[in-house]
Amino acid sequence: MNIDLHTHSYYSDGVLSPKEIINKAVNAECQFISLTDHDSLEGLAEAEKSANEFNINFIKGVEISAKHGPYSIHIVGLGINDNNKTLIHGLQQNNQFRINRAKMIGKGLQKVGIENAYKKARSLSKTKYITRTHFAQMIILEGICQNMPSVFKKYMNGNKPGAVKGEWAKSDDVVSWIHSAGGLAILAHPLRYKMTLTKLKKMISDLKEIGLDGIEIVNSFSSPDEIAKSKKIADDYELLYSCGSDFHGWPNQSIELGKIPLYDYGKKFVLNYL
Ligand code: AMP
Ligand code: MN
Ligand code: MN
Ligand code: MN
């Protein structure tokens, strides 16, 4: 059974429409699909309508940027009510920062000779949403870098010219918005944060205290070792298991929607609690 609980459309930093996401899910023979755009609920109604036409189970999701101490992390909300005022209002806060940050990124890149960066990145988005992915893709299209990891390393992370410290909502607020909207709060891609295992465990233990429900244990290219490591963390802190490709659909990315390593999740699989 193919299940994908982490995907992006052009209502954040993906390329496809929500309808096209559902089409992909049908072609990939997914039984369950969730759309989890960054800080955005805008694609959910279209995706749900399309999923109903195809008779595929659709789970309303969102991937929310959050600040946890010095770290910027991503918390996925699954099974959320997208009409919930607390959640909608909270996401507006993050999106206000997104717009300001995009202009600051543009100015930073200008300083190293990338002209009109904001305008060029904007033009790569089919919607009002602008993310660092749009800047990164623009830098690749300009022939300045070859691939996404190298752009992030050279231009977008740490103290690089296009890096801006994340002023996202606090993790405890994010978890409470998700719960207000009736969803489950899942830490996205736990092994992708640049922190030691000790710090990661401390963070997950703190997040559990504030109500985190689960963590992703399988993403697109998770190795058996990585899955075992994430599962152990989930078990140690009594958290549910989730999974998803984190599909974005840019032509230079190899992730495919619905294609993640097969895994027998058992009783603690998040789908059993949605
Ligand atoms: P933002 O939410 O605007 O900060 O953009 C973050 C997005 O950039 C993530 O969701 C990823 O899609 C993408 N991203 C971040 N770091 C990398 C990386 N090293 N390689 C490829 N994509 C990345
Ligand atoms: Mn993304
Ligand atoms: Mn993420
Ligand atoms: Mn994602």
pLDDT for 93 beyond 90: yes
**What does the pLDDT look like over 115-156, one tens digit per residue?**
999 999 999 999 999 999 999 999 999 999 999 999 999 999
For atom 13 of ligand 1, the residue with the nearest CA is 133
State the pLDDT confidence band at 42, using cuts at 50, 70 and 90.
very high
Residue 237 has what pLDDT?
98
From the CA of 74, how far away is ligand 3's center (Å)?
5
Q: How far is the CA of 190 from the centre of ligand 3 (A)?
A: 9
User: Would you say residue 215 has pLDDT above 90?
Assistant: yes
Ligand 2 center to 7 CA (angstroms) = 9
Query: What's the rounded mean pLDDT across residues 263-268?
Result: 97
Q: What is the mean pLDDT of residues 187-214?
A: 98
pLDDT at 162: 97
Q: What is the pLDDT of residue 191?
A: 98
Predicted pLDDT of residue 34? 99
- Supply the pLDDT for residue 1: 86
Q: Closest ligand to 134 CA?
A: 1
Q: What is the DSSP string of 222-264?
A: --HHHHHHHHHHHHHTT-EEEE---B---TT----TT------
Is the per-residue pLDDT at 13 higher than 90?
yes
Asked if residue 86 has pLDDT above 90, the reply is yes
Q: Tell me the one-letter amino acid at 18.
A: P
Residue with tokens 């603690």: 268
Distance CA 259, CA 221 (A): 9
> Encoding tokens for residue 60?
């309303």
Which tokens hold the place of 29? 């023979």
Q: According to CATH, where is 3.20.20.140 located in the chain? A: 2-84+176-273
Q: In the CATH scheme, what is the homologous superfamily, with its name and number, of domain 2-84+176-273?
A: Metal-dependent hydrolases (3.20.20.140)
Rounded distance from Cα 140 to ligand 1 centre (Å): 14
Q: Is the pLDDT of residue 4 over 90?
A: yes
User: Closest-lying ligand to the alpha carbon of 131?
Assistant: 1
User: What is the rounded CA–CA span in Å between residue 56 and residue 37?
Assistant: 19
Tokens at 217, concatenated? 């244990």
Binding-site residues, ligand 1, Cβ < 6 A: 13, 38, 65, 131-133, 148-149, 152, 248
CA dihedral 139→140→145→151, nearest 10 degrees, is 60
CATH 1.10.150.650 domain range(s) in the chain: 92-156
Average pLDDT, stretch 43-57? Answer: 97
Conformation bin of residue 121: beta by default, left when phi > 0, alpha when psi is -120 to 50 = alpha
CA 34 / ligand 3 centre spacing (Å): 14
| Ligand 1: residue whose CA is nearest its atom 5 | 132
- Residue 6's closest CA among 210, 140, 189, 263? 189
Answer whether 58's CB lies under 8 Å from 52's CB.
Answer: yes
Global pTM reads 0.98
Residue 177 has a CB neighbour count (10 Å cut-off) of: 28
Atom of ligand 1 nearest to the CA of 63: 10
101-106: long-range contacts (C-beta < 8 A, 24 or more apart)? 101/164, 101/166, 101/167, 102/130, 102/135, 104/164, 105/132, 105/135, 105/156, 105/162, 105/163, 105/164
Q: Please report which confidence band the pLDDT of residue 53 belongs to, taking 50, 70 and 90 as the band edges.
A: very high
Ligand 1 closest atom vs CA 157 = 16
pLDDT at 88 over 90: yes
CB atoms within 10 A of CB 7: 31
Mutate to test the pocket of ligand 1, among 12, 15, 37, 132 (most ligand atoms within 8 A of CB): 132
C-alpha distances (whole Å) from 185 to each of 104, 174, 175, 176, 222 are: 30, 9, 6, 9, 21
pLDDT at 133: 98
Ligand at shortest distance from the CA of 187: 3
Multiple choice CATH, 92-156, 1.10.10.2840, 3.40.50.10860, 1.10.150.650, 3.30.70.100: 1.10.150.650
- At which residue do the structure tokens 């959640």 appear? 87
Task: Please give the pLDDT value at position 267.
Answer: 98
